[in-house]
Amino acid sequence: MKLVLIEDEDILRKSLAFFLKSNDYQVYEFDNGLEGIQFINENYGDISLIITDLNLPFTSGKQIVFEVKKKYDIPIIVLTASGVEQTEMEILELGADDFIVKPFSPSVLLQRMKRIIKKT
């Protein structure tokens, strides 16, 4: 399965991509929202899931959720360091399938991913 991972924190992005690849996912990594959304627009038919940080350079995770859900039926998990309830509610109302506050367990993320992908 092909995943898009958009995270500007290099260590987290690389370690998460390594973990997901070791679990047989094909991961496309981006460190900013603009490149991520461009890739999604060009390859949307092949993408099973998007994992995006909320605070990104150039295009925010919130904008990614808005743009993707307006055009495509691709599940999205949003990662953020913000545990603010209002932020979580806004992101879920925009159509995100899950919202995970950092720090988090990669194993728990994997289980949430499997649950979301199974539903689609």
Question: Does residue 83 surpass a pLDDT of 90?
Answer: no
- Alpha carbons 86 and 93: distance in angstroms, whole number: 10
* CB 64 within 8 Å of CB 33: yes
Q: What is the mean pLDDT of the chain?
A: 95
pLDDT for residue 34: 97
For residue 76, the enclosing domain spans 2-119
Torsion from C-alpha of 36, 41, 44, 50, nearest 10 degrees: 30
* CATH classification of the domain holding 74: 3.40.50.2300
Question: Each residue of 38-55: pLDDT tens digit?
Answer: 999 999 999 999 999 999
Q: Are strands 49-53 and 98-101 parallel, antiparallel or unpaired?
A: unpaired
User: Helix (H, G, I), strand (E, B), or coil: what is residue 100?
Assistant: strand
Counting the structural domains of the chain, the total is 1
- Alpha carbons 52 and 78: distance in angstroms, whole number: 5
Q: How confident is the model at residue 71 (pLDDT cuts 50, 70, 90)?
A: very high
DSSP sequence for 58-84: SS-HHHHHHHHHHH----EEEEES---
